[in-house]
Structure formats: structure tokens, C-alpha cells
Structure 1
């Protein structure tokens, strides 16, 4: 499988290449491109790859400008910090739309979708876009969680949850009314069930609801200090590498 990466953040491109090499060691990265201009030139002059990993915002504009200049016939996996372009992405041969920061599991699931839809991509006729969206569009997010407390099963609506966090090596829910519940899923599993537009993984211990954010302050070593509308057991800090992604998440609703 020949793959090209279109990504203007070198660190993200290197991370993506490393993950691809782990998941698909037989795959070959034939090019790493950083701009609309270089992508158009490459796709116009070279044989099209089997798959493209593509960021939305490139050094010289949005990636969708590429499709105005050159026909791209291979499937595309979009990896971006912005969630507002998903519909436009799916109109451009997209097989998945992954929000940064992505994980190895995210990329593995995207490859699984490529494998499942390989028969479709061998066809020359594109299906109806609504049919494609129904098959591969990302879910809106889990609406509730079933918990057990005081010998009773209780359903907790997701929009009443301020944050999830790791406590005593287990995962706990903290609601806006400051009621706390334990669940069996790991924090990684919970993150995969939720809408990435509504919940953000601050660090290894905390996954927070957008509605719970009260204010954000600059902290030492270019970190961010996040304050929620309810108290948290720990000080919520975002490291300097993830800070731009967190600020983008706050801004791009």
C-alpha cells in the first residue's frame, strides 16, 4: 500500500508516520507534503497513492483547494484539530475524519474502515453521499451512562457530566451537581464513546465537558491552567504541546 501524508505540522506528520509503520509495516510512505501547492503538483505529476492522510488547514490554505485543481480518486483519511469541516470532507472521498490529538487506536480504526470499504473504492461510480455518510460518519457521541450505586442502577445523561477522571486507578464520573459515580470503562474507552466536539482529553487523568469550562489561565512552562465551574480534586493543567489543540477546541464550536 502506497500512502502520502499531507500535513504542515512536522511533529504531527512524524507521529502519524510512526503509527502507520507500526500498524501497517508493509505500507510505504511515498511523500510527505505540507501545502496545497505542493500537493497539487505532486498529485498532478505522480501516480496516485492507495491512501492519503490529510490535514484540513495547510500552510497556504484549506486542503479542499486541492480538489479544485486535481482529481483525487483514492480514499482519504482526514486528521485535523477542527470538527466543522466534516461534511465537506466526506464529499471528498473521505473514509474517516479523525480529530487531533489522534491515537494509535484512532489510526487503526481508520485502516479498518479502509479495509471494509476497499470493494467500494475499487468501483468507478461514486455512491450517493447520504449512503456513504450513514456507513462511515462518526457517531454523535454516547448519550448516557449506566452506573450502579447504593444497590441501584442509574442512568446518567452525558450532558449532565462535568468531567470524567481517574480515581484510585478506576474511572469516575463527576456531574455538575457534584454527584460522583464509578464506571467500569477505562478513560480511553470513555473518550472513544463521546463526541470530540463536547469532550476534551486534557491529560492522562481528566476528560472534561466543554460546558464545564469556566476560565483558562497561562501557567508556568507554557502550560494552561483550566478552571471548571465545579471544584476538581486536582489542578487541571494542559501541557504546552496540547495547549494549541485545547484552545482550538474551545474556539471552534
Structure 2
């Protein structure tokens, strides 16, 4: 089986690739693509794969824009962080969908479903209806995140998250009760998923919930130093950067 992965999160793509190869080492990954533009270029100059793993939201557009520019007959398994979109995709007759973070059991079930697949053509997948759903509906933000804790999946309510932070090349969330979990999303992706009324990225390392601020202190060069609850591991990591200071002040006064 030849597979293409279209995913703009490098860590998520790497994790998916490993899980696919763990399921069946004979599956060949032909390409790992990050954007609509890169995908269109690849499909115009390469044979189609047997199966595509397709993230709905890519760095430059919704992935459905790929189908507007090239004819693709390969079956698709959608991958998404948005559960309401995933359910719609499934109902619109994609082979299957995988809700991030993807777990081994669900991936195995989707690949087994593909093995039983008997020629569904993408014309029977109502891509236009799904595209319309994503582009015309009111913007919806995540209310909960699913995270992997060993072999188990745990649901965390977004309102219970105090902040997200980068540490040792990984991204973590910390709840209001002080629990810390590793997550698959980058801070850039989290900015898209979270309600900007409640969450703001204050610098390269932190996205915070406004309810986590326990104290604000004037700092050098017009910046603001924040004390968070629960307390951050390094208090100097929670200084609002110069380029985000104006946005931060508007945010807290909204």
C-alpha cells in the first residue's frame, strides 16, 4: 500500500507515520506534505497513492482547495482536531476520520476499513458540502481537548486549562489545579483552536487563559510581567513580549 500524509504539524505527521508503520511495516509513505500548494505540486507530478491521510486545516488554506486544482481519485481518511468537523466528514462518506490526537486502535480500525474498501470514488464524497460547512458556519472554538496519557485518552475541558507552554521542544498544558500534560499541538495551532476572548499568546513560549492571571507588574520597555496561577516554572517566561504588549492591553480591557 502506498500512502500520502498531508499534515502541517511536523510532530503530528511524524507520529502518524510511525503509527502507520507500526501497524504494517510494508506500507510505503510516498510523501509528507504540509500545505495546499505543496500538495498540488506533488499530485501534478506523481502517481496517485492508494490512500491519503488528509488534515482539514493546512497552513495556507482548507485542504479541500487541493481538489479544486487537481483531480484525485484516491480514497481519503480525514484527520482533524475539530470533532464536529470530523463527524460531518464521516457522514459525508469519507472512508473514515481520525480525531487528534490519533491513537493506535483508531488508526488500525481505519486502515482495516480501507483494506475492506471496494472502490468508493471521491465523487461520492460530498467535498463541496463539507467545504461549505467549514467556510460558512460561524467560527467554533474548542471546548475540550483529548490528550494521550500512556495508552489511555483523557478529555480536558478548555475552561479548566490555565495556560499552554513550550518546554524542551514539547508543548504542554497546565490545568487550574496544577496538572500538566503533553499535547500534540503547536502554540501556532492552539491560537487557531482557542477562543481569543479567553486565550492569548503572550510570547514565544506561552498561551494563557485570562483567568490564570493573578498579578500584573510593569516591566522594562513598556512590557508587563505576569504572575500566573498555578505558578509558572520560570517567572521570566511569562513576560509579555514587546510586539504583543499592545494586543495584550486591549485584550485585558476588552
Answer yes or no: same fold by TM over 0.5.
Answer: yes
Structure 2 counterparts to residues 153-164 of structure 1, below 5 A? none
Q: CA RMSD in A?
A: 3.7
| CA positional deviation for 1:203 | 3.7
Q: How does 1:1-253 map to 2 (within 5 A)?
A: 1-86=1-86, 89-90=89-90, 94-116=94-116, 118-121=117-120, 200-201=146-147, 203-204=149-150, 207-208=154-155, 210=157, 213-214=159-160, 216-217=162-163, 221=167, 223-227=172-176, 235-239=178-182, 241=184, 244=187, 251=195
The Cα shift of 1:215 comes to 5.0
Determine the structure 2 residue equivalent to 1:144. none
Secondary structure of 1:94's aligned partner: coil
Deviation at residue 89 of structure 1 after TM alignment: 3.6
The alignment's TM-score, normalised by the length of structure 2, stands at: 0.56
How many residues are matched? Answer: 177
SS of the residue 2:96 aligns to: strand
Whether the aligned pair in 1 keeps the contact of 2:9 and 2:186 (CA below 8 Å) is no
Q: Deviations over 1:136-157 (max 9, x none)?
A: xxxxxxxxxxxxxxxxxxxxxx
Aligned partners of 1:242, 1:50: CA distance in 2, in Å?
A: 28
SS in 1 for 2:29: strand
Secondary structure of 2:71's aligned partner: coil
Q: Secondary structure at the match of 1:32?
A: strand
**Residue 64 of structure 1: how far off its partner (Å):** 0.9
Deviations 1:199-244 (A, max 9, x none): 7347458834639x445246794643213xxxx7xx4222365675
SS at match of 1:66: helix
Unaligned runs of 5+ in 1: 130-195
TM (normalized to structure 1)?
A: 0.56
Find the aligned partners of 2:165 and 2:122 in 1 and give their Cα distance: 53
Cα distance in structure 2, aligned partners of 1:224 and 1:50: 37
Query: Aligned equivalents of 2:94 and 2:13: distance in 1?
Result: 19
- Gap change, CA 1:63 and 1:88, over 3 Å in 2: farther
Structure 2 spans left out of the alignment, 5+ residues: 127-141, 197-254
Is contact 2:86–2:99 with CA below 8 Å preserved after alignment? no
- In the TM superposition, residue 108 of structure 1 has moved relative to its aligned partner by 0.5
Alpha-carbon distance in structure 2 between the residues aligned to 1:127 and 1:112: 20
**Structure 1 residues 117-145: Cα deviation after superposition (integer angstroms, max 9, x where no partner):** x2143xx695586xxxxxxxxxxxxxxxx
